[in-house]
Amino acid sequence: MTAVRHVGGGAAAGCFGTRFGEPSVVERDLLAAPATRLLLLAARPAPPTDLASAVELAAEEGIDWPAFLRLARSHRLTPHVARSLAGCGAVPEAAAARLTAMAARAAARSLAAAAETDRISAALAGAGIPSLTLKGAAVAVWLYGGPDRRMFVDVDVLVPPADVGAAIAVAGAAGYGPPPRLHMVTPAQAPVARKRFFAHDAALFHRDRMVKLELHWRAFNDPTFRALETALQGLVRDPGRADRSAVLAAHVLVHGAAHRYHRLGWLMDAAVLAGRLDAGDWDQVVRLAEADGALNAVLLGPYLAHRLFGAPVPAALEAPLTARVGALRRLAGLTQTRTPDDSGTDQPGALRLHSMLHDRRRDRARYVATKLLRPTAVDMDDRTLRPGWRGSLSRARAQAPRLARFAAGIVMPRRRPAG
Amino acid sequence: MGIVWLASYPKSGNTWVRSLLTAYLGDDAVRIDALGHSNPLVTRRWFDDVVGLSSGILRLDEIERYRPACSRLLADAIGDELRFMKVHAANVASTAGERLFAPEAGAAVYIARNPLDVAASMAPFFGWPVERAVDVLCDESWVLNDAAGAMILPDRLTSWSGHVTSWLDAPGQRVHLVRYEDLHADAAAVLTGILGFAGVTPVPGEVAAAVEATRFERLREQEAERGFPEHTRKATAPFFRSGVVGAWRRELPPRLAGRVVQRHREAMVRLGYGDLVAEVERAGVTA
- SS3 labels along chain A: CCCEEECCCCCCCCEEECCCCCCCHHHHHHHCCHHHHHHHHHCCCCCCCCHHHHHHHHHHCCCCHHHHHHHHHHCCCHHHHHHHHCCCCCCCHHHHHHHHHHHHHHHHHHHHHHHHHHHHHHHHHHCCCCCEECHHHHHHHHHHCCHHHCCCCCEEEECCHHHHHHHHHHHHHCCCECCCCCCCCCCCCHHHHHHHCECCEEEEEECCCCEEEEEECCCCCCCCCHHHHHHHHHHHHCCCCCCHHHHHHHHHHHHHHHCCCCCHHHHHHHHHHHHHCCHHHHHHHHHHHHHCCCHHHHHHHHHHHHHHHCCCCCHHHHHHHHHCHHHHHHHHHHHCCCCCCCCCCCCHHHHHHHHCCCCCHHHHHHHHHHHHHCCEHHHCCCCCCCCHHHHHHHHHHHHHHHHHHHHHHHHCCCCCCCC
The mean predicted confidence, pLDDT, of chain B is 88
Query: Mind telling me how many Å the CA of B44 is from chain A's nearest CA?
Result: 12
Residue of A nearest to B142 (CA): A416
* pLDDT higher than threshold 50 for residue B81: yes
* CB proximity under 8 Å: A 3-62 to B: 24-29
What ipTM did this prediction achieve?
0.78
CB nearest B52 (choices: A26, A353, A415) = A26
Which of A51-60, A226-235, A346-355, B78-87 is most confident? A226-235
- The interface residues of chain A toward chain B in range 166-195, judged by CB-CB distance below 8 A, are none
Minimum distance, in Å, between the CA of residue B62 and any CA atom of chain A:
7
pLDDT score recorded for residue A305: 95
Segment B68-97 mean pLDDT: 93
Q: Do B51 and A353 touch (CB under 8 A)?
A: no
Query: Is the CB of A25 less than 8 angstroms away from the CB of B49?
Result: no
Q: Does the distance separating the beta carbons of A417 and B60 come in below 8 Å?
A: yes
Region B54-81: mean pLDDT is 90
| Over residues A272-286, mean pLDDT | 96
Partner residue facing B58 (CB), from A336, A340, A356: A340
Q: What percent of chain A has pLDDT over 70?
A: 91
Q: What global pTM score does this model have?
A: 0.83
Which chain B residues are within 8 Å of A353, Cβ to Cβ?
54, 57
pLDDT of A42 reads 93
Q: For residue A418, is pLDDT > 60?
A: no
Closest residue in chain B to residue A416, using alpha carbons only: B60
* Contact between A25 and B73 using a beta-carbon 8 Å cutoff: yes
